[in-house]
Amino acid sequence: MKFPKLSSSSRAFTETSVGFFSETFNARALVASGIKDDFVQDNHSLSVQRGVVRGLHFQVPPNAQGKLIRVVRGSIFDVAVDIRSGSPTYGKHVSALLSAASWNQLWVPKGFAHGFCTLEPDTEVLYKVTDYFAPECDRGLRWDDSDIDIPWPIAGVDVVLSAKDKLHPALKDLPDYFQF
């Protein structure tokens, strides 16, 4: 299972002594990478502490979301888990280090649970999504499920979780929300 890691744009990043310019979204560049989804909403999160784990989150149909993730301050260990029943990579994960310094992005398609761990204080993550937030479709997967075995870079005792993220079920307890 391999996801495209995307540069910040099809144009070169330009930095000068007075600042920088970067094209952070280009639909033609995404189509050239095989991503043909339309984006309808942008989200921005701030995690004040190092070791915050957000996720693993997803939305079920009819409001399933693909996500295009990038970091504008700090860095994260970003993870996507295949939760499509019948997929040859069901229950497997991919991970990437995303950072403001590297200007990289990660595409997470529908049918994957997504989460990240902040590696620095005051980390800000922006992500574009392909469907609107729908609370009735909001779901999650346990971040430390031993069947998935994600090598999180922060020891479990040092992880900071929201009350909601502490309650997500294990993969074996998830209904078949997505079919391959």
DSSP bridge pairs for 179: 85
Q: Could you check whether the bond before residue 56 is cis, i.e. omega within 30 degrees of 0?
A: yes
Q: Is 127 a catalytic residue?
A: yes
Whether 107 shows a pLDDT value over 50: the answer reads yes
pLDDT-derived band at 139 (thresholds 50, 70, 90) equals very high
Q: Is 57 a catalytic residue?
A: yes
How many beta carbons lie within 10 A of that of residue 146, not counting itself? 9
* Of 44, 57, 132, 177, catalytic: 57
Whether 114 shows a pLDDT value over 50: the answer reads yes
Q: Single out the residue of 107, 52, 104, 115 nearest to residue 81, CA to CA.
A: 115
In three-state secondary structure terms, 69 is strand
The dihedrals phi and psi of 172, each to the nearest 5 degrees, come to -65, -20
Residue 75 and residue 121 in contact, taking contact as beta carbons nearer than 8 Å: no
Mean pLDDT across the stretch 148-161? Answer: 92
* Of 93, 114, 127, 168, catalytic: 127
Alpha-helical runs (H) found in the chain = 27-32
pLDDT, position 33: 86
The least confident of 5-19, 90-104, 134-148, 149-163 is 5-19
CA 14/CA 19 separation, integer angstroms = 9
pLDDT, position 63: 98
* 51-94 pLDDT tens trace: 999 999 999 999 999 999 999 999 999 999 999 999 999 999 99
